[in-house]
Structure 1
Amino acid sequence: MISTWVSVIVMLVAFVNGVRNEDDIQPCAKVQTPWSVVPLGSPVTATCVIRDDCPLVIGQAVHIEWRLGDRFLPSSPVATESGRVSKVVIPSFNYTRAFLTCCVQASPSQIVGGVEIRAGYPPPAPQNLNCQTNLTTPNTLTCKWDPGEQDTYFLTKYTLHTQIWDSNESHAYNLPPGVHRYTVPRSDFVLFSDMDIYVKAVNELGEATSAHITLEPVSAAKFDQPKILKVEVVPRRYGCLRLSWCLSQHQAWMHNFHLSLEVRLKTADRSQWSEPILVVRTRPKRSVDQCRLLHGTQYLAQIRVRYQQSPWSEWSSSQSGVTLESAPTGRLDSWMKVSWDHMRKQLNTHLLWKPSKQFRSNGQNVSYIVSLQKVPSEKGRVCSTTGNSCAFQLPGRARKVYLSAVNAAGKSPPTEVRIYLPKAPAAISEITAIPRDDTSLLVQWKSLISPGLTDYVVEWRPLLKTDRSFIQFEIADRNQSSLTITGSFEPYKPYGISVYPRFKDGIGLPQTVNAYSRQKAPSVVPKIRIKNTWKSHIELTWDEIPLDQRNGIIQSYKVIYWDKKRLINVVNADLEERRVILKDLNILSLYEAFLMVSTPSGSRNGSTIHFEMEPFDAVAIVMIVTASGVGFSLLIIFIVMTCFSNQKRLKGHFWPAVPDPANSSIKRWSSDSSRDTHTSLDTDEPNPIYLSHLSFLDLTMKLNKKDDDMWSNSGEDTSDLGDSICGSPFIPGYSGSNSDSVPYATVIFSGACTNPPPKEPHHVYLRSESTQPLLETEESFSPKCYQNMAADGMTTEQCFFGSCHNIEPEEGTDSVILWDDFPFLRALAMNETQND
């Protein structure tokens, strides 16, 4: 396409211009058209005439062709004898610029003539012409206009025309192409004289003129920002403020001109300005009063000015003022939550309130009083605060309280708040909260048919803040099932929203839902922990995400794991349990896993953990250890029980008990036969006492000295020698009160009981070989020498303990042994008596 255009241009240069070697050469053909510049889409007509002396057609038949760019056009020859004239008609020329060429058919075709045709649109009339005067130094008049959105495809020139009526002075200002504004110098206009101003646009297809405007330059001036000097109270007029103002320094010279003024106001706690209030024909430095305002309320004020129909200036900076105070008016909307304290027999009450649409605080420092009496007094007051809520206790019989607003000017009429206890009926189901934007939530619920229903209370609070002052509420009519709540909701922070049904006699059960104004993926993902393992299963668990890091409502926990073959598996976990069990895992295979937590607006992946399934898992080890422990415990219990059943026998083997003669217990004679046997004893004498253990041996042969040494020096235990005594007062088989104790002594007789007693009885006393100490060395308990009585009534002294001394009986006394002083020898004496 480009090469075709180049060749066309070259041929036109050669044939149309006909310049070669400084000699004027006439072209072979001439193309004629009425207009070379035409409106886009209009028809175009052209005629091609070939000269007779053209070398290309001398002596040859002529056939003429037309081309528009590189496209052939149908043509019709003109009825002439030579046939060297052709005409072409283009019904609609849709090119902005194109070459129309005339060609002679040859091999190849030769261009003999052509013409360039351009098309476009005439200029549209300039729109929105306006001019503005700048009253700062230096003063200027700037005019601008809109050229229109349509492209004309031609170069359009603009000219600004001004004419001063008083002097008939006119000016025309030519602008460079593409410029659509112009600033008239101060010398070419008069501030207080009307001017006629318009703009003319011209291109190759025509011209157009904008609408004329007539203005006074000063009335087209945009003033600088005015300044509010002060805002003050109007004396003795409630709800009025007085504003004093002035113009900027550059326009201060216009202080005598009447200007238009607009004032806008807003309270200090609001973000939206009120509709502007127009004040006409006022002069600078003259104060302006604004009334019908709230009493005792702080206002912010701004102003702007203009002269006649000039543009408004920018708004001034804000200045504040406070109207006169009056007593609060209107009622307060309230919401009370009550619970019964069974211990103290009183009501725990939390009361919240807010201004209704009719309430007016009418003051700056407003406080609130809750009282049990309609007329507030110190006696019945239960709460006084500057906030919007209060917690207090009431007597169980209380049925209502009164809420009043107080400022420096007085008190509002009390608002009666009835006390309703919670009741069981539920009147709400399926509550939802949908964010509408960053500052509002749409709360919807389904109402159940409940008689006595009066209205609904929608309560919401930030879950990350525990202070009750952050609780807010709205009251909805009983016929409503939705409510849009607005406030400063923080994005990614949870809010608890509850809907309470209120009845004539109580408050029903609420429905609660958590909501977010905006959500995103959680800030953190908890770490996975391995809790239990089985042969081919493993249990994974994790902690709950802290509420302040969830950033939304958790919708799913997913555990994604894979093995060395990269086989990916996904398991969904229960939101409440926060655990999963991975089943059918391969033994001795290394696995990787991570946790993915999702909210409605995003997901976050946790760190990856690695684990391997062992062939002998922990559960089997625990079971084996448990079984072994139980078996070992049973064995220990069996051994202990066996030991307790043979306690006495084992004690005798490991801890022999040595009787203490001083503290031994001697059993009394219990056998009646023994009493009959000892008839020689005095009947008044008390019964003999059993020794703890006393053994007797009857020897049939006389012991010699060697035998005495053997018995006396033997290291063996002699406690089992002579288990019975012939004619003894002991019951056969009796072993004493302490059968396992070591005998204190053993007495050996020289003859048998059945044989006649020997003339010289031989008694041998053997001491116990125990190494344990028997007695403390006290003379009151251990006699130094014992005496035995012979068969003939004579006494024979034998030493049983330590050395013997010659003890002579006192004169005038018989040699009589006191058996009660020698309990061991008393039993021995009895045996000898029986033998006699």
Structure 2
Amino acid sequence: MSFSLSVKSTIHFVGVLSFVRFSSSLLGLFTTYGTITPQSPQVEIGKNFTATCVLYETAESTADDIFWTCNGKVPEELYTKINDSAVSVTIKITPDTCKWLICNKQPRYVNQTPAIHGIMLTKGYPPEKPNNLSCMAVQSGQKISPILNCSWEPGTRDELLKTNYTLHTSWTGFNSSQKSIGYINMETFPSYCELKIWVEVANSLGKVQSETLTVGDANYLVKTNPPLNVHIYSENNFPRSLLVKWRRPIEKHFFRLKYNIRFCAVGSEDWSEVPPNDTESDVDSFRLQHLKPYTEYVVQVRCMHSIGLGYWSDWSANATWWTPEDKPSSQPDLWRVVIPSQGKSERRVQVMCKDPVESNGRIRNYSIKIQDGGRKTVLVNRSETESRKIIPLYQFVLPDDGEALIELDACNSRGMSPRASLTIPKFTHEPPSVKSLSWFTKEGRLWVEWVPHRGKARDVTEYILEWVSVSDGALDWQRERASRTGLANGNLEKFKRYSISVYPMYSGKTGKPWTEPAFLDQKAPMVGPVVNVSRCGKNDAELRWMEIPLDKQQGFITNYTIFYTMGKQEQSITVSADTYSYTLKHLTSGSKYVVRVMASTVAGDTFGPEYTFNTLEYAPGEIEGIVVLVCLAFLFLVVSLVVTCILKMERIKKKIWPPVPDPSNSTIANWSPDFPSKADPVSKENALGDVSVVEVDVFDGRSLCEEDKAGLPLKKDKYLSEEHSSGIGGSSCMSSPRQSVSDSDEGGDSGQTTASTVQYSSVVASSGYKGQTPQPCSSQAQTPSFARSESTQPLLESEEQPEGQEGSGQPHLRHPRNAYFRRLPGGSSDDDDNNSGDPGDLNQLEMEDQGLTLLQFSPLEEGSQQTTPTEEGQTPDGQLDPIPSYLPQLRGYRPQ
């Protein structure tokens, strides 16, 4: 508890002590402990300044406690102790000296302010003396104005202080002055009186006065108005002079005047002045002499006090007039233009001229004399409004082997000029040209230099410098007297192409020219080349562009740059200035390209418009080549097929059209070699004699002969190996080809293939029958033997049995007859033709056919047992069915 009270008492004591110190500092702020003299002075830059700080008794300090600050503490060696309460300081004033100088004392407390007093230093310079004081009084109406205007030159440095300028005169008046000018209104101008004038300048650092301007007569300070009503007059008898008259601007009782006159030709800036001694007297007219005849002149006049003191008046307004005409004093400038004729041995000459330099009047006409083998005189009149600088005079034709002398006289109203002459030599005898020619530009002018021809330089009297505008053909020329450099003085235009030519003149005879193109100045072409594609291929394209018109080139073309772009890939090619076509190579086929051409001069570049083209998918002739190759290949294929067909004709015919044998030559009658048939004595070669129809009585108890029995086992094996082909007609042309073994060893054709062989079958009911005559045989019943023929004869329609007719009850449909195997009674083919329409014969044939149906045809099967015809031919009711000629085929013919 006691500890807490002790801490609180300590904190309270410290707070009271801090408050006392803060109060003391506040009292110090509002208490003055001393002062500084002088107070806020204006100090001069470059000089020393001394200030003294004096302490009051209330400061409770001594001089030893004082220190000075000025942008920092001032060094103590600059202090001077005056007594115990005063200390001075001396500092040098510079433009960088501080603005505030403060006197301080050492503080007794921590928070006590050390400053005692401070002063502000105003820096500056004292005024400088004005120089060149001058004053002028101007004319106002017919009198002199009472206001005197003066001017002077003030000091060059800035005073940095407020400075007053005051203009004073020996005559009282209102004064108004600025830094360099001022005026005094004297109410009445003191003519013929002495006048003193000066300027006074003062500021806080001092005062200064100019030199006094003393004038014995105030009229010497007067500037009058310019002379009035200036006029010019000409006199016909004096073509080289003009009379100038004027009126004085002020009355003579003020003072006398003297005059100054100047003149020049209209358009010229070179003024000529009349000598001052010729116009010192107070006159009102003057005659100008030694002027050029028929020339317009401009004249101006001014005046001032005749004593020569004071000021010249302003120049009067321009007065212009023409001098009278005089006869020409120089010859006309004669020249020609020679134009060769196309395909002819002649030249067309255009004669032209300029007016004489000293025409001394308006040229009214020209007289031309031409000697080209004859002599002719031509008079050319000029109109009043003719203002051309170059006058075309006459045009004539001159042969290449001819020479002409042209003489020209110019006439005005006062007489004729000296004669000018020009000789045009023969085309083959023209004197030589200069050796070389060059040009350059300097300060916007065109300069031409040339080198004379060796050995002929002494004979040259002058050179003709000619320039022709290429764009419009404007021509001009000038003469250079035995010089090697010429400045083209014509009105040449920038960015325009000119043809510069130099002609050496040999005593009036023109030599050969040397011509070079030139530009006064160059810049980028006005337009770019217009490009187009003249030929486009698969991987190349030929570009063409026209030359930029000469009036739009604006400089010499240095090169062309071709830019071509496909997609975002751009490439460029630079070609020479004389190239106007280029072939782009290694392009991508079937692609789109954008091309443009840039023309360049030494001063810039200009792009032409863009052109878009597409390369070809195929090169020219490539499609035609492909078509030709395809056609040739197709033709080769066709020819090969045709040749193959020709070479394989027989095999192809056998493949497509199998050979069909003649039924009349069929070997069906000779199927069985063991049972040869008897020859029909009445058969003929063209009849079906080889085919026989065997009629067998099945109920005949006679059996096959023993010799037939012996052949059955052998044939049985042969039949079983061929899968038991069906009977007659059992195979068709549509069945699959199979190998067939002939029943007879001598009846088959070994050269025929199985694909072209159609097999036939025959049934021999009994071995006892051979041919058509039955033979006695064994009494035992024999199974009918099945024989096969390898005839290539296709089956006939009547042999093919549709499946739908198997169960038909119509015997004639179930067992169709084959007409080829039929032999009419009588056996002769001739008889067949003759008796084909006999109904009796047809009935007999049908009866025979019915007898044949009693035979049953079946192939032998392995392991099968032979049956007698009686067993097979019986029906359940004991009746005999008609025996078919061959077994009916189910589902077509069995494969062979």
SS at match of 1:53: helix
Q: Name which of 301, 304, 324 aligns with 2:299.
A: 301
- Rounded Cα–Cα distance in structure 2 between residues aligned with 1:105 and 1:280: 87
Indicate yes or no: 2:528 matched with 1:525.
yes
Indicate yes or no: 2:544 matched with 1:541.
yes
Q: Contact (CA 8 Å) 2:127, 2:208: kept in 1 or not?
A: yes
Q: Contact (CA 8 Å) 2:402, 2:425: kept in 1 or not?
A: no
Q: Name which of 457, 473, 482 aligns with 1:466.
A: 473
SS at match of 2:120: strand
Q: Contact (CA 8 Å) 2:167, 2:183: kept in 1 or not?
A: no
1:245 deviates by 1.9
Indicate yes or no: 2:446 matched with 1:441.
yes
- Residue deviations 1:81-107 (CA, integer Å, cap 9, x gap): 987765544345223772222334566
The residue type equivalent to 2:287 in the other structure is: D
* 1:499 equivalent in structure 2: 502
Inter-CA distance 365–336: structure 2 relative to 1 (3 Å threshold): closer
Point out where structure 1 has 5 or more consecutive residues left out of the alignment.
Answer: 1-19, 164-168, 633-836
The residue type equivalent to 1:101 in the other structure is: I
- Rounded Cα–Cα distance in structure 2 between residues aligned with 1:281 and 1:263: 11
- Rounded Cα–Cα distance in structure 1 between residues aligned with 2:570 and 2:65: 80
1:160 deviates by 1.0
SS at match of 2:488: strand
Q: Name which of 407, 410, 424 aligns with 1:405.
A: 410
- Rounded Cα–Cα distance in structure 1 between residues aligned with 2:333 and 2:508: 18
* 1:208 equivalent in structure 2: 208
* 1:232 equivalent in structure 2: 233
Q: Contact (CA 8 Å) 2:332, 2:354: kept in 1 or not?
A: yes
SS at match of 1:189: coil
1:596 deviates by 3.7
1:157 deviates by 1.0
SS at match of 1:487: coil
- Rounded Cα–Cα distance in structure 2 between residues aligned with 1:542 and 1:306: 74
* 2:486 equivalent in structure 1: 483
* 2:166 equivalent in structure 1: 159
- Residue deviations 1:104-130 (CA, integer Å, cap 9, x gap): 456687322322223222223334433
- Rounded Cα–Cα distance in structure 1 between residues aligned with 2:226 and 2:81: 81
- Rounded Cα–Cα distance in structure 1 between residues aligned with 2:281 and 2:369: 52
The residue type equivalent to 1:514 in the other structure is: P
Moved more, 271-280 or 495-504: 271-280
Question: Could you state the TM-score of these two structures normalised by the residue count of structure 1?
Answer: 0.60
Q: Contact (CA 8 Å) 1:493, 1:552: kept in 2 or not?
A: yes
- Rounded Cα–Cα distance in structure 1 between residues aligned with 2:85 and 2:564: 90
Q: 1:606-755, aligned counterparts within 5 Å?
A: 606-611=608-613, 613=615, 616=617, 620-621=619-620, 624=623
1:187 deviates by 0.7
* 1:550 equivalent in structure 2: 553
Q: Contact (CA 8 Å) 1:337, 1:349: kept in 2 or not?
A: yes
Q: Contact (CA 8 Å) 1:96, 1:153: kept in 2 or not?
A: no
Q: Contact (CA 8 Å) 1:571, 1:580: kept in 2 or not?
A: no
1:502 deviates by 3.8
- Rounded Cα–Cα distance in structure 2 between residues aligned with 1:49 and 1:612: 104
- Residue deviations 1:416-457 (CA, integer Å, cap 9, x gap): 4444456374533351231522xx322234555343452432
- Rounded Cα–Cα distance in structure 2 between residues aligned with 1:443 and 1:629: 68
- Rounded Cα–Cα distance in structure 1 between residues aligned with 2:154 and 2:78: 45
- Rounded Cα–Cα distance in structure 1 between residues aligned with 2:227 and 2:344: 66
- Residue deviations 1:520-571 (CA, integer Å, cap 9, x gap): 4433334332333344444443333333333333344334454544x55443
Q: Contact (CA 8 Å) 1:258, 1:281: kept in 2 or not?
A: no
Q: Contact (CA 8 Å) 2:78, 2:91: kept in 1 or not?
A: no
- Residue deviations 1:196-217 (CA, integer Å, cap 9, x gap): 2222222222233334334555
* 2:136 equivalent in structure 1: 132
- Rounded Cα–Cα distance in structure 1 between residues aligned with 2:234 and 2:544: 69
1:391 deviates by 4.0
Q: 1:736-775, aligned counterparts within 5 Å?
A: none
1:293 deviates by 1.2
Inter-CA distance 39–255: structure 2 relative to 1 (3 Å threshold): same
Question: Could you state the TM-score of these two structures normalised by the residue count of structure 2?
Answer: 0.56
* 1:54 equivalent in structure 2: 59
SS at match of 1:119: strand
* 2:181 equivalent in structure 1: 181
Q: Contact (CA 8 Å) 1:298, 1:323: kept in 2 or not?
A: yes
- Rounded Cα–Cα distance in structure 2 between residues aligned with 1:626 and 1:305: 104
The residue type equivalent to 1:464 in the other structure is: S
Q: CA RMSD in A?
A: 4.4
- Rounded Cα–Cα distance in structure 2 between residues aligned with 1:550 and 1:521: 8
- Rounded Cα–Cα distance in structure 2 between residues aligned with 1:625 and 1:445: 64
- Rounded Cα–Cα distance in structure 1 between residues aligned with 2:358 and 2:558: 46
* 1:816 equivalent in structure 2: none
Indicate yes or no: 2:42 matched with 1:44.
no
The residue type equivalent to 2:573 in the other structure is: V
- Rounded Cα–Cα distance in structure 1 between residues aligned with 2:331 and 2:380: 17
- Residue deviations 1:742-768 (CA, integer Å, cap 9, x gap): xxxxxxxxxxxxxxxxxxxxxxxxxxx
Kindly, what percent of the aligned residue pairs are identical? Answer: 24
Inter-CA distance 347–79: structure 2 relative to 1 (3 Å threshold): closer
* 1:381 equivalent in structure 2: 377
Q: Contact (CA 8 Å) 2:467, 2:476: kept in 1 or not?
A: yes
The residue type equivalent to 2:95 in the other structure is: N
* 2:672 equivalent in structure 1: none
Q: Name which of 413, 427, 435 aligns with 1:428.
A: 435
* 2:647 equivalent in structure 1: none
- Residue deviations 1:494-541 (CA, integer Å, cap 9, x gap): 333222334569644433333343444433334332333344444443
Indicate yes or no: 2:324 matched with 1:324.
yes
SS at match of 2:528: coil
1:159 deviates by 0.7
The residue type equivalent to 2:165 in the other structure is: Y
The residue type equivalent to 1:621 in the other structure is: P
Q: Contact (CA 8 Å) 2:408, 2:419: kept in 1 or not?
A: yes
Q: Name which of 438, 455, 464 aligns with 1:457.
A: 464
1:64 deviates by 4.5
1:582 deviates by 4.6
Inter-CA distance 485–505: structure 2 relative to 1 (3 Å threshold): closer
Inter-CA distance 254–525: structure 2 relative to 1 (3 Å threshold): farther
- Rounded Cα–Cα distance in structure 1 between residues aligned with 2:508 and 2:250: 70
Q: Name which of 262, 265, 269 aligns with 1:264.
A: 262
* 2:279 equivalent in structure 1: 280
Q: Name which of 514, 519, 539 aligns with 1:511.
A: 514
Inter-CA distance 379–507: structure 2 relative to 1 (3 Å threshold): closer
The residue type equivalent to 2:417 in the other structure is: S
Indicate yes or no: 2:576 matched with 1:574.
yes
- Rounded Cα–Cα distance in structure 1 between residues aligned with 2:464 and 2:513: 9
- Rounded Cα–Cα distance in structure 2 between residues aligned with 1:181 and 1:585: 83
- Rounded Cα–Cα distance in structure 2 between residues aligned with 1:588 and 1:129: 92
Inter-CA distance 191–594: structure 2 relative to 1 (3 Å threshold): farther
- Rounded Cα–Cα distance in structure 2 between residues aligned with 1:484 and 1:224: 45
- Rounded Cα–Cα distance in structure 1 between residues aligned with 2:488 and 2:305: 45
Structure with greater proportional helix content:
2
- Rounded Cα–Cα distance in structure 2 between residues aligned with 1:346 and 1:509: 17
Moved more, 419-428 or 153-162: 419-428
Moved more, 290-299 or 427-436: 427-436
Inter-CA distance 147–328: structure 2 relative to 1 (3 Å threshold): same
Inter-CA distance 78–159: structure 2 relative to 1 (3 Å threshold): closer
Q: Contact (CA 8 Å) 2:175, 2:185: kept in 1 or not?
A: no
Inter-CA distance 30–590: structure 2 relative to 1 (3 Å threshold): farther
1:474 deviates by 3.0
SS at match of 1:76: helix
Inter-CA distance 72–602: structure 2 relative to 1 (3 Å threshold): farther
The residue type equivalent to 1:381 in the other structure is: T
* 1:112 equivalent in structure 2: 116
Q: Contact (CA 8 Å) 2:544, 2:581: kept in 1 or not?
A: yes
